Chains A and B, each alone.
Chain A
C-alpha cells in the first residue's frame, strides 16, 4: 500500500448511501410527525414520540456515516434470480389465497419457489407442492378449522 492511499482512503459510497437512507427516514419522521401535534410537555401529543425518534435517527445516521466512511465493504451482491423468484412466489400466494383458495395458493408458492435454484426437478417440485398443499389443507382447514376456503368454489 502506498503512502498516499494510507493517508487518504477512499470514501465508501455504498455505506454512506445506506446511512443517508436512514437520515432521510429520520428527517421524514420528524417533519411528518410534527404535523400530528407535539402537545405540551405535561401532556405529550401523538407527534412527540415520532419527532424524537426522527431526530435520534438523524443524529445516529450521522454518527454511523462517520464510522463507516472508509469501510472496505463492497456493494452487496444481490442474487437477482433468487430474490425475484421468492418475490413472485410470495406474490402469487398473496393473490391466490383469497381468490383461488388455499390449496392453489400453497401449490403456487411452493412450486414457484423451487425455481430459485437452477436445475431443480420440475416433477419433484410438483409432487412437493401437491404434498404440502395437502398437508396445509389437512392441518389448517380440516384439523384446526381456520376460516380459509380450500378452493374457489
Chain B
C-alpha cells in the first residue's frame, strides 16, 4: 500500500542522525518549558526559530514540532507536584493530580499521565497519518472561495467556543486582521499603515507580536506574585511510580475517551487542547459511578485530560498540514514559523514535500518514545527543575525573548515592538480582551484577503460564489450556525450591560 511506502520514506528521513538529534533536542526543550510554570512552548519555539534557520527545513520543523508536543508531557508535572499548571492545558490535571501527590501517590500519578500521554499521542498520530492525506487530496479541489470560507469559519469557531465575552474575542480577531494588513500589500505592492517606517514595510514581526502579547505580558503580571511552593515529593523512586492493577484498570477507558475527545477537538479548526481537557474531565465526572471522588485524587481525573491534551496537540497538525489552517494560536505560530522557513502550507504541501511531511510524522513517533524515556526514568531531574525560583527565571526568559525576537530579522525595531505589545497585552487582558484570537487573525488575515480577492475575481465581482459552490456553502452555513448559537449569549450580555470583572486568560 501507498501508505506504508510513505511511512517508510518518512522513517528513513526521521531516523537520520541530524533528525534524531534535533528531535531529541526539541522534545527535551519542550519538556523543560512544559515543566516550568509560566514558561510556554511559544517562547521556546521563538527562541529556537533563529537557530533552525541554519538547519534543513525538515529537521527544523521536526525540532519545532517536538517543542510543542514535548511541552504537553512536561506540563502535568507541575500540576501534580505543585498544584500549578505548567501550561494551561494541564490546568485540569491539578484538580486530582495534586490531591494524589498529597496522598503520597505522586509517583503513580506522574507515571500514569506519561503513559496516557503516550497512548493519546500515539492514537492521534495514527489518525493524523490516515486523515491528513485524505483531507489534503480533497482540499486540492478547493478554490479561493472555499479557502476564504474555511478560514472565516475557523476564526468564528475559535471565538464562539472560547470562554468570556464573545464580542470581545471577535473584536480581537479583527484587531489581528488589522495588524496583518500592515506592510506591503501582496496584490498591489502598496504600502499600508507603515507610517513611513522602513521596518514596517515587511509587516509586523509575528514573533514580536506573539512574544509581546504572551511572553512579556505574562512576565509583567507574574513578577511579585509568589508562586514558589514546596514540592510535595522531592524524590520519586521508580518503585513508587508503579501503579496497582486496579489503577491501571480504572485508567483504560478514561484514557480512550480522553483521546477520542482530544483528537476530535484538536482536529477542528478553532478549538485548542485546553477546551479538550475540560471536556474530557467533565465527561469522566459524568460517567463515573461516584462523581464525589473527583477533586480528591481520582485517577480518571488525571488520565483523561492528559490523554486528551496530547491527542489534541497531535491532531491539531491535521488541519495545519492538510489545509494550511491553524486550529489554535499555537498552531498559528508554528504555521508562521513554517512560512518564515519558506515552506508554503496548504494541500499542496503533501504533494510537493512528501519527505518533509512523512518525515515529520515519523518524528512524532520517535519523539513520543524519547518523551517516554525522558519522563519516566528521568522524572527526578524535572522535579528538581521545578525548584528554580521565578526571580531567576524571568530575567532568563526576557533574555530568550530578546534573542528570539531580534535574531529573526536582526532588527532592533522588533525589540521595541515586543515591548509595546507586551504592555498592550498586559493591559488588554486586565480588561477581559483575550490575546490568542489576535494571533489567529494576524496569521490568517493576509491569506484571507488574498483568497477573498481571488474569489471575487473568479466570480467577476459576484458574492454568489460563496454560497453557490457546495463546499463553500456548507462552510458558510456552519459559520452562520456558530454565530446564531452564540447570539443568545451575546444578547443577554449586551442587555444586562453588567458583568463581574474578569481577566481574560492568556491561554492558547
Question: Could you tell me which A residues sit within 8 Å of B by CB distance?
Answer: 9, 14-15, 18, 22, 25, 29, 32-33, 36-37, 40-46, 48-50, 53-54, 56-57, 60-61, 63-64, 66-74, 76, 78-79, 82-83, 86-87, 89-91, 93-95, 97-98, 105-106, 109-111, 113-114, 116-117, 120, 125, 128-129, 132, 136, 140, 144-148
Interface residues of B (CB under 8 A from A): 50-51, 54, 165, 167-168, 170-171, 174-175, 177-178, 181, 185, 187-188, 190, 192-193, 216, 219-220, 223-224, 391-392, 394-396, 398-399, 402-403, 406-407, 410, 412, 415-416, 418-419, 422-423, 426-428, 430-433, 449, 452-453, 456-457, 460-461, 490, 493-494, 496-502
Chain B residues touching A, majority SS: helix
B168, B399, B412: the one within 8 Å of A64 (CB): B168
Q: List 29 A-B contacts (CB under 8 A).
A: A29-B178, A29-B181, A41-B456, A45-B188, A49-B177, A49-B452, A53-B174, A57-B178, A60-B171, A67-B165, A67-B497, A70-B496, A71-B499, A72-B498, A72-B499, A74-B501, A78-B426, A78-B427, A79-B224, A86-B398, A89-B395, A90-B216, A90-B418, A91-B419, A93-B402, A97-B412, A114-B395, A117-B391, A144-B54
Most chain B C-beta atoms within 10 Å of own C-beta, residue among A45, A86, A89, A91:
A86
Chain A residues with Cβ below 8 Å from B403 are 106, 136, 140
| Chain A residue nearest in CB terms to B414 | A94
Residue of A nearest to B410 (CB): A147
Bound state CA distance, A89 and B401, in angstroms? 12
Q: Do B224 and A73 touch across chains, with their CB atoms under 8 A apart?
A: no
Given A43-B457, A76-B427, A110-B395, A145-B498 contact (CB < 8 Å): no
Whether A109 lies near B456 (C-beta < 8 A) is no
Residue in A25, A44, A90 whose Cβ sees the most chain B Cβ within 10 Å: A90
Residue pair A136, B431 in contact (C-beta under 8 Å):
no
Task: Give the distance in Å from the alpha carbon of A48 to the alpha carbon of B185 in the complex.
Answer: 11
Would you call A89 and B398 a contact (CB within 8 A)? yes
Question: Cα distance A57–B412 when bound, in Å?
Answer: 30
Q: Is the CB of B460 within 8 A of A42?
A: yes
> Looking at the complex, which one of B395, B433, B456 makes contact with A113 (CB distance below 8 Å)?
B395
Nearest CB of A to B217, in Å: 10
The residue from A71, A74, A91, A132 contacting B498, defined by CB atoms under 8 A apart:
A71
Q: B431 touches which one: A56, A73, A132, A147 (CB < 8 A)?
A: A73
Asked if A66 and B432 sit within 8 Å, CB to CB, the answer is no
Instruction: Give the dominant DSSP class at A's interface.
Output: helix
Contact B165 A113 (CB under 8 A): no
Q: A57-B178, A110-B399 are in contact. Are A72 and B501 (CB under 8 A)?
A: yes
Determine if B498 and A40 form an interchain contact, defined as CB atoms under 8 angstroms apart: no
Q: Are A105 and B402 in contact (CB under 8 A)?
A: yes
Q: Is the CB of B432 within 8 A of A73?
A: yes
Given known contacts A42-B457, A46-B188, A109 and B398 CB-to-CB distance under 8 angstroms: yes
Closest beta carbon of chain B to A27's beta carbon, Å: 12
List residues of chain A with CB within 8 A of the CB of B418.
90
> In the complex, what residues of A have CB within 8 A of residue B167's CB?
60, 63-64, 67
Q: A53-B174, A70-B497, A116-B223 are in contact. Are A42 and B461 (CB under 8 A)?
A: yes
- Which of A46, A61, A79 touches B187 (beta carbons < 8 Å)? A46
> Given A64-B165, A140-B403, A14 and B190 touching (CB < 8 A)?
no
Query: A128–B395 Cα gap in the complex (Å)?
Result: 9
In whole angstroms, what is the CA distance A105 to B340 when docked?
25
CB-defined contacts of B165 to chain A, threshold 8 Å: 64, 67-68
Complexed CA–CA distance, A14 and B501 (Å): 12
